[in-house]
Structure 1
Amino acid sequence: MLSDDELRAHGPEWLVHLGEWGALGAWAVGWLLFWRLPRLRVPAVGEDLLEVSDHHADPRAAVIVPARDEAATLPILLGSLAGTDPRVDEVVVVDDASTDATASVARACGARVVVPDARPPEATGKVWACATGVDATASPDLVFVDADVEVAPAGLGAVLDHLATTGGLVSVEPHHRIERPYEQLSALPAIVAVMATGAASPWRPALRAAFGPLLACHRTDYEDVGGHLADPGAVAEDIALAARFRADGHPVAVLGGGDLIRFRMYPAGIGQLVEGWTKNLATGAGATRPLRLLAVVAWVTALCWSMVALAAAPLAPTTAPAWAVGLSVAFAVQVWAMARQLGSFGPWPALALPLHVAGFVALFARSVQLTVVRRQVVWKGRAVPIRTAAAGPRLRRAGAAQDDPR
């Protein structure tokens, strides 16, 4: 047995080793949280699709684009949608009180423009716009697409093929198209978001979360679960809708966009990136299953610990520097392997990992402070209060949408 003096002398070193082994274990857990995100793909010629959906008799689809101040991004989306798939019967842009030329740009690109009725205070702008788009269309399949998405010629067909195969809710996380250095900071938040859904785990658990840039479902299923208006005040409307589908027994699929669906997530600058991730990070954490959330927290904590250990390595016991360097390299390789599945991030999330970790911690702290403490975030110039799903009565309809006559 060690004497008191020996314990005092060796105690800190044992604590360091305990932290090192714990961090290594959390690193291994990271691979269970994010191994491979299945990609949306075009079926091979002659490939049989196992049809479990019974809605395929009428294949018409409506594309609904909720848009607020999206004049700059709409031409890319609407241009990419033109003539992509004969099943697309309607393309509707819902102008959510834009202050720019969103409506005229959408109309010039060949889309039908719809203006929602007055939005009730308990509904968020995107929820109300999506519900308005559903009411303004008649096609049996619905595809909700954000204005900053770009669709490859075969992309929408692949989404509709997958929907015809699985039914339920099909969600696509577009491939991040990175053009400016600050956009690299989305790598870690995007990785953590995918970890939280379980979509990239080796065992593919039943999912109850989704990504909102592209969602597809059958109209009958959408109406069965109450649609977006089942939770009108949802800040993360994609997560709320996926939870409704799962609760009612419908499957939820999450796919990576790969070469078929991509976007620039926050092209307007670092302020937009901070606003967007502030809105989504803590909200998504609150919707994650407890055991999975614990595993994600362990991975993030170990990642942070490895960066601190690397910085403190020169002051640590003799074996600590090698451990710190090795562990940091292991995390850097892991982050690089995960990030490259999600977008064109390149090597920078790995090479500048301490900067990315610091940025993620700051974003998450801000998200908790605004969503949990202050209960309000700002998005696209609007203050959005954070409400629980049971905070108010379910809205039945978005009202009779009016075509924009301008």
Structure 2
Amino acid sequence: MIVIAVVALCAWLWLLLAQGMFWRTDVRLPRTGAEPATWPAVAVVVPARDEAEVLPVSLPSLLAQDYPGPATVFLVDDGSTDGTGDLARSLHATHGGLPLTVTSPGEPPAGWTGKLWAVRHGMAQARERSGAEFLLLTDADIAHRPDSLRSLVTAAVAADLDMVSQMARLRVTTGWERLIVPAFVYFFAQLYPFRWVNRAGSRTAAAAGGCVLLRSATAEAARVPDAIRQSVIDDVALSRAVKRSGGRIWLGLAERVDSVRPYPGLGELWRMVSRSAYAQLRHSPALLAGTVVGLALIYLAPPAAAIGGAAAGAWPLAGLGLAAWAVMTGTYLPMLRYYRQPPWLAPLLPYTAALYLLMTVDSAVEHYRGRGAAWKGRTYARPDDTLV
């Protein structure tokens, strides 16, 4: 146990100092103050499947964008059964704002996820009707403040970026959301440190699919979405395709972009994580086993050593466990502050990590039962690696 506690403490010191400062939350959209002399045309593409619950909040925020240049919204109704398309038209008739086109691509062919098939259709519509220089790919549950598009384009043009992505601030209202949602973003940043993503020449690539501004020419050069048509974790796949094509990308935390999708109970949050967790591990049993061991060592061993050592009077063990737990807690505090949550939640991170461990295992179990990557009535099998 002493050895395990020492390894856990060393791991946390390494994460603190050498993992791209992942725990810091100051990577925000660059504000240069130098707006473009000529504002480029933008096409906003919104894939939507059964989104009638959230659309009355999110869509009006897009239609009301204060953007000086030409902008058009393309909402792609991906086989909804709840009247999403008709609701979108009604919202536009009520609120006005940017021009809106509502279209539907039909069911995705074999080898495509529904979202990416909808994105492909929306991008094609944008090319035909708007000739936009930039595409804003945004999910139907994402609400944008009035200056969101303006800020994204300003940052992309000023820094000569090919893709700008913001991690939308997720809803944190219920007890389960407070416990799980900030940790979701914390773990994502630990896997893909934003500073590494944004560094020129770095191999680390990631994006947040809810808010991605992409140059149209870059999309063509990277052959997206066709090149990533089977990807369940499409935002990370998109960023990798753009980087491989030579594009410059940026990822950070949002200040004025918010997810309005509610996850009131543990069941909804569990499904959100488990539907793609095993896909993140490339459906590999070896990676799953390594992840389980790693989570247990890094997140569960420190409190076990601290509490168990104190109970047994093994004070060196307790001290090592407490030190590792303290470093873990300290790295989580900035994310809690970003989400405006109380600091007493930070020491509970091992409990949250245990839940994520179980969600990941459940994701693998559901995959082998043929129910992996299920979302809104569709289930996606493991991608065929032979497809290009």
Which residue of structure 2 lines up, in the alignment, with residue 154 of structure 1? 147
Which residue of structure 2 lines up, in the alignment, with residue 328 of structure 1? 325
- 2:75 maps to 1:103: no
Which residue of structure 1 lines up, in the alignment, with residue 4 of structure 2? 19
1:248-259 alignment runs, 5 A limit: 248-257=245-254, 259=255
Which residue of the other structure, out of 87, 94, 99, is the alignment partner of 2:69?
87
- Paired with 2:292 and 2:250, the residues of 1 have a C-alpha distance of 20
Percent identical: 23
Q: Does the Cα contact within 8 Å between 2:73 and 2:101 map onto a contact in 1? A: yes
- Paired with 1:235 and 1:303, the residues of 2 have a C-alpha distance of 27
Which residue of structure 1 lines up, in the alignment, with residue 301 of structure 2? 305
- TM-score using structure 2 length: 0.83
Task: Report the RMSD for the aligned CA atoms in angstroms.
Answer: 2.9
- TM-score using structure 1 length: 0.80
- 2:271 maps to 1:275: yes
Cα shift readout 1:221-263 (whole Å, capped 9, x = no counterpart): 1011111121211111111111111111112211110x21122
Q: Does the Cα contact within 8 Å between 1:66 and 1:95 map onto a contact in 2? A: yes
1:329-348 alignment runs, 5 A limit: 329-341=326-338, 343-347=339-343
Cα shift readout 1:287-306 (whole Å, capped 9, x = no counterpart): 9xxxxxx9998577322211
| SS of equivalent residue, structure 1 residue 352 | helix
Q: Does the Cα contact within 8 Å between 1:193 and 1:284 map onto a contact in 2? A: no
- Paired with 2:163 and 2:291, the residues of 1 have a C-alpha distance of 26
| SS of equivalent residue, structure 1 residue 70 | coil
Q: Does the Cα contact within 8 Å between 2:372 and 2:379 map onto a contact in 1? A: yes
Q: Does the Cα contact within 8 Å between 1:176 and 1:262 map onto a contact in 2? A: yes
- Paired with 1:283 and 1:339, the residues of 2 have a C-alpha distance of 27
Per-residue deviation, 1:272: 2.8
Cα shift readout 1:160-187 (whole Å, capped 9, x = no counterpart): 1122233322211112230111112123
Paired AA for residue 244 in structure 2? A
- 2:325 maps to 1:355: no
- 2:165 maps to 1:171: yes
- Paired with 1:296 and 1:169, the residues of 2 have a C-alpha distance of 33
Paired AA for residue 188 in structure 2? A
Q: Of the two structures, which has the highest relative contact order with CA contacts closer than 8 Å and spacing of 6 or more?
A: 1
Q: Does the Cα contact within 8 Å between 1:94 and 1:130 map onto a contact in 2? A: yes
Q: Does the Cα contact within 8 Å between 2:9 and 2:323 map onto a contact in 1? A: no
- 2:143 maps to 1:143: no
- Paired with 1:75 and 1:162, the residues of 2 have a C-alpha distance of 28
Paired AA for residue 269 in structure 2? L
Which residue of structure 2 lines up, in the alignment, with residue 386 of structure 1? 382
Q: Does the Cα contact within 8 Å between 2:183 and 2:349 map onto a contact in 1? A: no
Q: Does the Cα contact within 8 Å between 1:209 and 1:239 map onto a contact in 2? A: yes
Per-residue deviation, 1:102: 1.1
Which residue of the other structure, out of 246, 250, 274, is the alignment partner of 2:243?
246
Which residue of structure 1 lines up, in the alignment, with residue 287 of structure 2? none
Per-residue deviation, 1:129: 0.7
1:186-225 alignment runs, 5 A limit: 186-200=181-195, 204=199, 205-225=202-222
1:250–1:181 CA distance, 2 compared to 1 (3 A): same
1:42–1:240 CA distance, 2 compared to 1 (3 A): closer
